[in-house]
Amino acid sequence: MLSTSHTSPVKDRFNPPSIAMGTTKDTQIWMMTCLTLLIGSTQTVSSTSVLIIPTMTPTIPTFSALNESHNDQVCSTWGNYHFKTFDGYFFQLPSTCNHIVTSLCKSSYESFNIQLRRQVVDNQPTISKITMMLDGVVVQLSKDVVMINGQTVALPYSFSGVNIEKTTSKVKVVAKLGLVAIWNNDDSLMIEINEKYRNQTCGLCGDFNGVQAYNEFDNNGGTFSSSEYGNLWKLDDPLEACEEPLETIAESCADEGFCQQIFSGQAFSSCANTLDMDSFVQSCSADLCHCNNGTDTFCLCNTISEYSRQCVHAGGTPQQWRTKQFCYKTCPYNMEYQECGSSCVDTCSNPDASQLCERHCTDGCFCPLGTVYDDVNNTGCIPVDTCLCVHNGQVYTSGESYNSNCKECTCDGGQWDCIDKDCPGTCSVEGGSHINTFDGKAYTFHGDCSYVLTKREDAHRCTPLHSSNQARAGPFRSA
């Protein structure tokens, strides 16, 4: 008899193929019993096991952002053609040409190269295509379509050191070589790269040497304008001749105080000391000019969104700043928009994902407290106890069960709870010498005597039910 204490506060989750163990209230018991079958009969061969599931205490998901600031490893582009390089230099490039955003340049092997193209839709610039070469794997992202090496794939997808996953709010590409890219399916792309690439990159994201404009914007003692800089990293398609836009004069027509006030607000109190607020104020002012000083238009909101995202990368925890009247975001299903929610989505299949999440928070659409995302039927957010289960392509509701492989599995809030079942066993002799045991072992034995094929045992001593010529019982000798 073997017993082990069961102390986990979380409900045990047993998958159907797993080894089943008997459980009493707090003790799991394996019992070895003597087996009792005669050939051709169907009686008990396995022990009886009962799984008692401890009551799960409801836990309120809590999440805090990682404190470690890594803003200097993040390059981003957002809204009205804004860019922030790895080194924190802000510029605007109002272009719909294809550009190299970042690439490994000071190396004999170009392990990554990321390109981006914008498109104007309904008078608003949005990112229409992202092309990534990651250690020989070509990833192409566009609205609703993800391609790997020219083939459309369904997400999540993993291939040769590249993982791509999708939420309702964004697509995330993680490359083992040390790069993470997040696209919000709209205006914003963020690229985070490993420290080991310092001073080795080129492209719109700059050289990653830790100094703002030096020396990627250095032009023989002068400074490249943003359109000149953009032209350096323009990469046309084979039959394309894309023109960079004419130089735009930096406008200063807006009230910087308004922007200052937003970024100094209570929602961003954890961000003010960690971010370059002046650069964001300038971006915000430029947006107000382009948006004719309207405060509810897209480009201003996108810059505030970016401030919120960068605050997270700098170790802050931005709070809700959107209201129904200001930069309001709608979400699909019954989800709600949060500035700092868990990067790991709780689903029916994995309802505890956020409790084990080590990544920092992110903005986007999230399930309300007390619900998880229904990844079985994709119906939005539902209470976990109403989650469905799937087995062999069939859907089961809570309380329904199936029997398979000597187990009975019952659906309980999206998870299978399985218990061992008594199983029939068969032993057979074919052709007089080919024997299959109850446990599936096949062997051949030739003999011209009478042998015990099976016998009943009690807890203390086994006695043969049927035997003959016991003195010569050979391999079937009884105790």
Least gap, CB of 209 to Ca ion (angstroms)? 4
First to last CA, the chain: 22
Contact string (CB under 5 A) for Ca ion, positions 95-134, x = contact? ----------------------------------------
Closer Cβ to Ca ion, 142 or 200, answer by number: 200
Does 52 contact Ca ion by CB under 5 A? no
Stretch that binds Ca ion, among 85-93, 126-134, 284-292, 332-340 (CB under 5 A): 85-93
Least gap, CB of 199 to Ca ion (angstroms)? 8
The closest of 212, 181, 186 to 302, measured between CA atoms, is 186
Tell me the two tokens of residue 15.
């998958």
Largest CA distance in the chain: 110
Closer Cβ to Ca ion, 211 or 423, answer by number: 211
Which of 186, 187, 192, 207 is close enough to bind Ca ion by CB under 5 A?
Answer: 207
Closer Cβ to Ca ion, 87 or 244, answer by number: 87
Q: What burial letters (b/e) apply to 435-446, b meaning 16+ CB within 10 Å? A: beebeeeeeeee
Does 200 contact Ca ion by CB under 5 A? no
Least gap, CB of 74 to Ca ion (angstroms)? 14
The closest of 381, 409, 296, 350 to 16, measured between CA atoms, is 409
* Cα(149)–Cα(136) distance, integer angstroms: 9
Does 87 contact Ca ion by CB under 5 A? yes
Closer Cβ to Ca ion, 216 or 352, answer by number: 216
Q: How many residues line the site for Ca ion (CB under 5 A)?
A: 5
C-beta of residue 455 within 8 angstroms of C-beta of residue 476? no
Single-letter residue type at 461: R
* Cα(278)–Cα(108) distance, integer angstroms: 38
3-class SS of residue 174: strand
Least gap, CB of 179 to Ca ion (angstroms)? 18
Stretch that binds Ca ion, among 5-13, 208-216, 301-309, 434-442 (CB under 5 A): 208-216
Stretch that binds Ca ion, among 81-89, 135-143, 377-385, 463-471 (CB under 5 A): 81-89
Q: Cα–Cα–Cα angle for 64, 312, 113, nearest 5°?
A: 125
Residue whose Cβ sits closest to Ca ion:
87
Closer Cβ to Ca ion, 210 or 370, answer by number: 210
3-class SS of residue 185: coil
Closer Cβ to Ca ion, 78 or 86, answer by number: 86
Closer Cβ to Ca ion, 128 or 209, answer by number: 209
Closer Cβ to Ca ion, 72 or 336, answer by number: 72
Which of 209, 297, 398, 436 is close enough to bind Ca ion by CB under 5 A?
Answer: 209
Does 211 contact Ca ion by CB under 5 A? yes
* Cα(365)–Cα(50) distance, integer angstroms: 41
Stretch that binds Ca ion, among 79-87, 148-156, 227-235, 299-307 (CB under 5 A): 79-87
Q: What burial letters (b/e) apply to 256-266, b meaning 16+ CB within 10 Å? A: eeebbebbeee
Closer Cβ to Ca ion, 70 or 477, answer by number: 70
Least gap, CB of 207 to Ca ion (angstroms)? 5
Report in angstroms the alpha-carbon separations of 195 from 74, 137, 178, 200. 11, 22, 9, 10
Least gap, CB of 249 to Ca ion (angstroms)? 25
* Strand positions, DSSP E, 105-144: 112-121, 124-134, 137-142
Q: Which residues sit at the interface with Ca ion, rule CB under 5 A?
A: 87, 206-207, 209, 211
